[in-house]
């Protein structure tokens, strides 16, 4: 689908498929188009062209069965500021047709999980993190089949973030979770599939395992006591070496296709050169490396 705001193309022929039951990370820098897509997915905004199906149903119609199966946390959740958290969740639950003991039990569960139980403050006095936790609870009130979360951890402290990510991970297989973020470690921690979006275009879409396999070279860091330039040239000529570049502390960083061969040969190469080995380390390529390689700019 494509979405244009005047001359700004916020989504440019985006084509995505999210497997049922997946925890799907939608990753992109500021302004990539994440919120725009989520708003279209909820029916709050319409695509300029193209189409979208959610749980098998076309979005943008009032077909029964879709909206009550979807939960949504907007990027800036809005509430009636004079209500308490409990009143907010009772209200949201009633809109979904919940009532009586089922509603009361669900509200208590969610308040307890989001650490908002016993809080009689009006929501208007909440901090940003508390509003985000209430927003997640509100998105969950109807036990949705599809949970859409727009940057769910952006205002949370480390403890709150860990708990929410663990909770999201626990939904795997039962609820499809589609969450946008620019926090790479959240995706690495919890997602099994990821799409990388930049300037409205999907640059990559795959499972985390495929992503690692595709960008699966490893990096080896070598620090020697002298003659690093000469060693870098020798390494660059080896069949297992993909590229060599200097590291932040002057060490040699080599992307290699066969880490075992590199580890086997390097000590002998260094010794032949008559220099001392200070450090030899290998590191698996991170999502940050892949993201920067694809997006090609510094992180937000």
Ligand X SMILES: Nc1ncnc2c1ncn2[C@@H]1O[C@H](COP(=O)(O)OP(=O)(O)OP(=O)(O)O)[C@@H](O)[C@H]1O
- Name the site residues for ligand X (rule: CB under 6 A): 5, 8, 10, 28, 30-36, 75, 182
Quick one: 24 or 240, whose CB is closer to ligand X? 24
SS3 4: strand
Cα dihedral 235→239→244→249 (10° resolution)? -50
The 3-state DSSP class for residue 224 equals strand
Cα separation, 117 vs 107, whole angstroms: 9
Shorter beta-carbon distance to ligand X: residue 29 or 169 = 29
Instruction: Give the orientation angle of helix 259-273 with respect to helix 228-236, to 10 degrees.
Output: 140
Name which of 149, 28, 73, 25 is nearest 11 in CA terms: 28
Helix (H) or strand (E) segment spanning residue 9: strand 8-11
CB of 155 to ligand X, least distance (A): 13
Residue 30 vs 120, nearer CB to ligand X: 30
Least separation in angstroms between residue 77's CB and ligand X is 14
Q: Which is nearer to ligand X, 18 or 224 (CB)?
A: 18
Closer by beta carbon to ligand X, 2 or else 286: 2
HSE-CB for 133 with a 13 A CA cutoff? 25
Which CB, 31 or 43, lies closer to ligand X? 31
- CA proximity to 156, closest of 128, 122, 178: 128
CB of 76 to ligand X, least distance (A): 10
Instruction: Give the shortest CB-272-to-ligand X separation in angstroms.
Output: 51
Min separation Cβ 63 and ligand X, Å: 25
CB of 66 to ligand X, least distance (A): 22
Residues, the chain: 300
């Amino acid at each position: 689908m494509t979405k244009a705001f005047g001359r700004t193309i916020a989504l440019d022929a985006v084509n995505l498929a999210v497997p049922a039951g997946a925890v799907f990370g939608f990753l992109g820098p500021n302004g990539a188009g994440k919120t725009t897509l989520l708003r279209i997915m909820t029916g709050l905004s319409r695509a300029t062209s193209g189409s979208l199906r959610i749980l098998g149903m076309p979005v943008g119609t009032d077909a029964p069965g879709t909206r009550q199966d979807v939960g949504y946390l907007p990027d800036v959740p809005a509430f009636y500021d004079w209500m308490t958290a409990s009143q907010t969740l009772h209200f949201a639950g009633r809109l979904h047709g919940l009532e009586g003991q089922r509603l009361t039990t669900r509200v208590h569960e969610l308040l307890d999980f989001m650490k908002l139980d016993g809080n009689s403050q009006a929501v208007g006095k909440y901090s940003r993190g508390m509003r985000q936790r209430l927003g997640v609870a509100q998105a969950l009130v109807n036990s949705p089949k599809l949970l859409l979360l727009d940057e769910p951890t952006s205002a949370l402290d480390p403890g709150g973030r860990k708990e929410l990510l663990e909770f999201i991970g626990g939904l795997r297989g039962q609820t499809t979770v589609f969450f946008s973020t620019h926090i790479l470690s959240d995706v690495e921690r919890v997602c099994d599939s990821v799409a990388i979006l930049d300037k409205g275009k999907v640059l990559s879409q795959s499972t985390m395992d495929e992503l690692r396999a595709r960008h699966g070279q490893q990096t080896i860091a070598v620090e020697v006591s002298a003659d690093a330039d000469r060693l870098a040239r020798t390494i660059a000529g080896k069949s297992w070496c993909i590229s060599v570049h200097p590291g932040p502390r002057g060490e040699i960083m080599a992307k290699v296709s066969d880490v075992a061969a590199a580890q086997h040969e390097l000590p002998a190469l260094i010794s032949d050169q008559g220099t001392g080995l200070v450090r030899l380390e290998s590191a698996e390529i991170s999502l940050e490396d892949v993201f920067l390689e694809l997006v090609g700019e510094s992180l937000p």
